[in-house]
Amino acid sequence: MAELLEFEAPIDILLKEIEALSMLPSTDDRNREISRLEARIDAIRGDLYRSLTAWQRVQVARHPARPTTLDYVERLFTDFVELHGDRRFADDNAIVAGMADYKGTGVLVVGHQKGSDTKQKIFRNFGYARPEGYRKALRLMQLAEKFRRPVICFVDTPAAYPGIESEERGVAEAIALNLREMAVLDVPIIIVVHGEGGSGGALGIAVGDRVLMHEFAMYSVIPPEGCAAILWRDAKKKVEAAEALKITAPDLLGLGIIDEIVAEPVGGAHTDPAQAAALLDVALDRALRQVQEMDSDARLEARYGKFRAIGLIGIEGADE
């Protein structure tokens, strides 16, 4: 059982009751009681996850047991071979990339990797990528373009790494160049925002033909804590900030920022990673087929038009 979040406290109480009952000698009565409690847990979880607040979704998106990019890679692709380095400075472990097969087609996979245990998390710098990561991603995406392979990007990062070396080596330039070049990269690009879409650090590998987003993922211009600290001058207002920023998948679908919501198992992807992967598989396969059917000019025109239109919803006073 994955670690429970604070809003899942009612489930925790029932789990403890089940645990207590299981320690007593098994009788028909007790077993019936246990099944009754288990059914109750499923019902409560279903209710909770049907009406999560924005801040609760942030917590689910950041859940320590949430499937990582490599968890999805392992389940969805075959013959994955990771490729390393930006040929400039270093290999960034917070972004992984490599060759893979998807239903018989060669694809390039790129994604932020957060790591699952403490050692891995440190190795992956908690998914905070440095300039090298974005440059590696672009190098390999251009390789995919050269050899006509579609690109699939997995987005899950708190932010680009805000450290001295990031600035010195031009993290802003690295992200900017990716935005420009991904806009015109002449192969299909599918984006999957499956965890945290942390501002520019996320967008740096998130320009494409279709943007899919997991049901409980988040995608934001700034972390709610940071927004609260700046606009409310109080980091504790993160709950209000999360709500105001409109960072949930349904909100972003309504604003025209994403194209499709990928359903998750009840209780979030971390409660059943295999089912989460199976649900993504269906959406990914469909999106990739749709985009692959388009000829190159139409696809690039549609990609431009898609980003070109974002924000018009928020403008009045159209002139000329």
| Binding residues vs another protein (CB under 8 A) | 160-164, 166-173, 175-177, 179-181, 183-184, 199-200, 203-204, 206-207, 219-222, 226-227, 230-233, 240-241, 244-247, 252, 255, 257, 303-304, 307-308, 310-320
d(CA 124, CA 191): 21
Characterize the bridge pairing of strands 210-214 and 218-220: unpaired
Residue 13 CB, shortest distance to another protein, in Å, is: 36
Query: For another protein, which is the closer residue by CB, 46 or 256?
Result: 256
Answer yes or no: are the C-beta atoms of 281 and 76 closer than 8 Å: yes
67 strand-pairing partners: none
Query: For another protein, which is the closer residue by CB, 171 or 277?
Result: 171
Residue 300 CB, shortest distance to another protein, in Å, is: 10
Residues with Cβ within 8 Å of 237's Cβ and at least 6 positions away in sequence, in order, are 228
111 strand-pairing partners: 96, 154
Residue 305 CB, shortest distance to another protein, in Å, is: 10
Query: For another protein, which is the closer residue by CB, 6 or 297?
Result: 297
Residue 62 CB, shortest distance to another protein, in Å, is: 17
d(CA 86, CA 70): 20
Residue 119 CB, shortest distance to another protein, in Å, is: 21
Residue 203 CB, shortest distance to another protein, in Å, is: 6
d(CA 232, CA 21): 47
Query: For another protein, which is the closer residue by CB, 46 or 163?
Result: 163
Query: What are the tokens at 31?
Result: 């077993």
d(CA 43, CA 38): 9
Characterize the bridge pairing of strands 151-157 and 189-198: parallel
Query: For another protein, which is the closer residue by CB, 117 or 168?
Result: 168
Written in H, E and C, the secondary structure of 118-179 is: HHHHHHCHHHCCCHHHHHHHHHHHHHHHHCCCCEEEEEEECCCCCCHHHHHCCHHHHHHHHH
d(CA 58, CA 217): 7
Query: For another protein, which is the closer residue by CB, 17 or 243?
Result: 243
Residue 92 CB, shortest distance to another protein, in Å, is: 15
Residue 286 CB, shortest distance to another protein, in Å, is: 23
Query: For another protein, which is the closer residue by CB, 278 or 313?
Result: 313
Can you tell me whether residue 194 is helix, strand or coil? strand
Answer yes or no: are the C-beta atoms of 194 and 67 closer than 8 Å: yes
Query: For another protein, which is the closer residue by CB, 60 or 249?
Result: 249
